[in-house]
Amino acid sequence: MNLSAIVETTSGPVRGIAEDGVTAYRGVPYARAKRFGTPERADWTGVLEANEFGPAAPQLASRLERVMGSFEVPQAEDCLSLNVWAPPGDGHPVLVFLHGGGFSSGAGSLDWYGGAEFAARGGVVVVTVNYRLGVLGYLRLPGISEGNLGLLDQVAALTWVRENIRAFGGDPERVTAAGQSAGAISLVALLSGEPGRGLFQQAILQSTPLGMAPATPEEAEQTGVKLLQELGIEATQLDAVPVADLLAAQFAVASRARSGILPPFQLTGDGTLVAADPVAAVGREVDIPILMGTTRDEGAAFLLDDRGAMAAATEHVFAGPARQLAATLAARGVPPWLFRFDWQPADSPFGACHCLELPFLLGDAAAWRAAPMLRGERPQRLVDEMRDSWLAFVTSGNPGWSRGDTRHFTG
C-alpha cells in the first residue's frame, strides 16, 4: 500500500493511497446522517485512513440490473461519504459526479464510477458522492421529514467540496457538477432553488428525466401515508422500524403505484430547495455553461418488451423535454452544448439504452466487464473520444463543438 501525504480538511486530517498516477481518497465522510434528519457536520480526531469506500445507502436491487448488472456492497443509514481521485499538483478543475438509480439505488462508491482513469487522463480532480435514497432520502411527512433529504445531502457534499477541494489540488472556483438520470435531475433541482445555486460553475446533464416533474408537497405526503399504511404504524413509530421493513414497505408502495418510470419517493417541489417546475426555473434563470444530452434508446432499459412504450418513454421523459429546455436556453442567448449517444453493441436487444454512455466515461474495463448492456464490447476509441470531450468541457468550458449543435457519439 503506497500511502500519500496527509491532507487537512475542515473535518479532520485524511490520508489516501497513491495509485495509477493519482491519489485516491475513499470513504471520506462529508456529513453524518441520522434517520429522517438533515445532514450534520462530520468531524473526526486523528488521521482518517481513506483507503476503503464507505457504505452505500440502504436499498433493494436496482430495476436497471438487467442492463447494468448487479452489485453487492455494504449498506448503512449513515452513508454520507465521498471519494476523491486527485492528480499531482494544484489548481486543477474539479468534476463532481452524482450517480443515478431512480432515487432508490446506486452509490458513488461503486467501481462503475471510479475516477482514477478520468482524473489521470485529464489532470482533473474527480469526486463521487453517496447520498440517501428511497424512503430514507425522500420521505415527506409532517413532523417527521420535509422531504428532499437526499438532495440536502448533495448540497452538503458540494459545500464540502467548495470548502476542502483546494487541499486535494482542486480549484473550488472551477467545479463542474455532472449527473446521470436521477443525479442529473437532482442538479436541475439544485439549479432551480436558491440554496443549491452557486455551488458549481458548470453542469453536465446526462440522460436527464426532464419529463419527470417533482411531486407536489401534497402528493409526497400522500405517498408517505401509504408507507405508514403498508407498515401498519403511526408516523411517530418510524424511527423504530428496521431498515429491511422500511425497504419492503417502500417496494410495496412502488408496486401498487404502477407509475412506470416515476419512483414514488423522489424530489418534492417545496418552492424553496426545489422549484415547483425546476425545468422552467432553469430555462428562465440559469446562465452557467451546460453540456446535456441523452442516449438514443433511453426507454429500452425500462420497457424492453413493449417497443411502443419504450419509444414513448424515450421521447416524453428524456428527448422531447431536453429539446424544449435547450430551445428555451438558446432563446435567452445561452444555448447548451448537446450530445446524443448512438453507439450500441452488435445485435444488442437494448440498443443505445439508458446508462450505456456511463462505461465510456467513468470506471475501467474491469468494472464494466459484466454489464449486460455492453455484451462484452467497450471500444477504447469511443472511451477516449467521450472522455476527451468531457475533459475539454470541464477544463475549458467547451467540449469541442459549436454551442447549440448536437454531437452524435457513434463509435
282-285, Cβ contacts within 8 angstroms, sequence gap of 24 or more: 282/188, 282/191, 282/192, 282/325, 283/325, 283/328, 283/329, 283/332, 284/328, 284/332
DSSP H or E run through 382: helix 380-396
Q: Is residue 28 helix, strand or coil?
A: strand
The residue type of 206 is Q
> Active-site residue numbers?
181, 298, 354
Phi-psi label, residue 78: left if phi above 0, alpha if psi -120 to 50, beta otherwise: beta
The DSSP result for 174-204, as a single string, is: EEEEEEETHHHHHHHHHHHSGGGTTS-SEEE
DSSP annotation of 216 reads: P
Site of grid cell 465521498: 82
Coil, helix or strand at residue 21: coil
C-alpha grid cell for residue 201? 460553475
How many angstroms from the chain centroid is the CA of residue 144?
Answer: 25
Nearest residue to 296 (alpha-carbon basis) of 341, 242, 258: 341
- Where residue 181 falls (left for φ over 0; alpha for ψ -120 to 50; beta otherwise) is left
